[in-house]
Amino acid sequence: MEIRIRGVSKHYFSEGKTIKALDDVTLTIPARKIFTLLGPSGCGKTTLLRCIVGLEMPDTGEISIGDDVVWSRDKAISVPPEKRGLGMVFQTYAIWPHMTVFDNVGYPLQVRGAPRDEVRERVAKALDFVQLAGFEGRPATKLSGGQQQRVALARALVAEPRVILFDEPLSNLDAKLREETRKELRAFLEKLQITAVYVTHDRVEALALSDTIAVMRAGSIIEIGTPRKIYFDADHRFVADFIGRANLFKARVRGEQGGHTVVDCPLGTIACQRRDFPAGGEATLCLRPEFIHLVRGEAPAGHNIVNARIETLTFVGENYETEIRVGEELLLARVDADASIAVGDAVSFSLDPAHCLLVAA
Ligand code: ATP
């Protein structure tokens, strides 16, 4: 079920101040895909999600789910949340501790007065789907964090919604469990083939889970794309920087050469991915640490070859994170955990133009 958001703005008034939470957002969320709203705290992700659900009224614009307009100021339409056919999973799960798994999952059906047999049948189906069959009688408190999260998912699914929405549902789990639950959730959603809207500020979660990511800042959508597009080929400096670790340099465009855009920057003259930037203009060069492959010793000058010195080394288990100095600049890079390299050593690296991303300055 596609969701269409057109010209949606939302202001809050608090302590005599106006806060622009959503600034004229226009967005189409595709059917049967996992669509993530990603952005820093306060950028408006939750507000947008709450507008879709109907827990918040926009000031302007229109929201449709499938063929139904669910909110429109101009047409004076405001469909209440329970009539929008949505399921929702929150950060705090909102699992009731005094209830059993069965009662938690069946609650949305019970409040609607569904017949007992239907409740039993649908709860069994939802629990079976999240692999919790047999847990019906268990008090909700006697479940692990990951299992509680699955109960919350089963409860969101029990009424067979058209769309399921998630507001930071994994943020209360510890790092390892979060990783496992993320994989599990992706598998469940793929199997369901349902439209899913997911809110997070965790970039790894967004990359791992989503079919499409919309990056937000200050109430606006900055860029939309697949995880690979957003990570490797962002159009905006903010997006390139937010989605992963990045070394960013001011660059001046020289022009095109051999299918690459060549720039002058503090690392020297560097051939980059081709971009339509005018010669003489400014751009930003973005280099991800994982594409800086250091070798020991100085290298003779050459195309895209940079000499550097190790400034710091931090052991983080799978490798060393290192800061390397090139003139005035400090770059983040990685070194194999078994590399015999020390602070002060001369190193060099060769940059593949395909991994030298140019974004607008
Ligand atoms: P987080 O990741 O921290 O949850 P978010 O991106 O989801 O942030 P929102 O919760 O949508 O951001 O908030 C957007 C802006 O609106 C913020 O500046 C926030 O302080 C403000 N805001 C949200 N709800 C209210 C409210 N009920 N009253 C006043 N201001 C609010």
CATH number given to 245-360: 2.40.50.140
Atom of ligand 1 nearest to the CA of 47: 11
- Cβ of 200 closer than 6 Å to ligand 1, yes or no, is no
CB of 21 within 6 A of ligand 1: the answer is: yes
Per-residue pLDDT, 131: 84
41 CB near ligand 1 (under 6 Å): yes
Is ligand 1 within 6 A of the CB of residue 42? yes
pTM to 2 decimal places = 0.89
Query: Which contacts (CB < 8 Å, 24+ apart) does range 92-98 have?
Result: 92/172, 93/148, 93/149, 93/151, 93/152, 93/169, 93/172, 94/152, 95/140, 95/148, 95/151, 95/152, 95/155, 96/140, 97/139, 97/140, 97/141, 98/139
Backbone angles phi, psi at 155, to 5 degrees: -65, -35
Instruction: Please give the residue that has the higher pLDDT: either 112 or 201.
Output: 201
In this structure, which residue's CA is closest to atom 30 in ligand 1? 12
Whose alpha carbon is nearest atom 1 of ligand 1?
A: 41
Portion of the chain with pLDDT greater than 70, in percent: 99
Q: What is the pLDDT of residues 49-92, one digit of tens each?
A: 999 999 999 999 999 999 999 999 999 999 999 889 898 888 76
Beta bridge partners of 289: none
Whether 3-240 and 245-360 share one fold: the answer is no
**For residue range 306-343, what is the model confidence (pLDDT) as tens digits?**
999 999 999 988 888 999 999 999 999 999 887 788 99
DSSP 319-351: EEEEEEEETTEEEEEEEETT----TT-EEEEE-
In this structure, are residues 160 and 121 in contact, taking their beta carbons and an 8 Å threshold?
no
Q: Is the CB of 47 under 6 A from ligand 1?
A: yes
12 Cβ closer than 6 Å to some ligand 1 atom: yes
d(CA 29, CA 1): 9
Instruction: State residue 82's pLDDT score.
Output: 86
Q: Where are the domains of the chain?
A: 3-240, 245-360
Ligand 1 centroid vs 22 CA: distance in angstroms? 10
pLDDT at 32 over 70: yes
Of 1.10.3370.10, 3.30.70.260, 3.40.50.300, 3.40.630.30, the CATH number of 3-240 is 3.40.50.300
Q: Which atom of ligand 1 is nearest to the CA of 22?
A: 14
DSSP state for residue 82 in the 8-state scheme = G
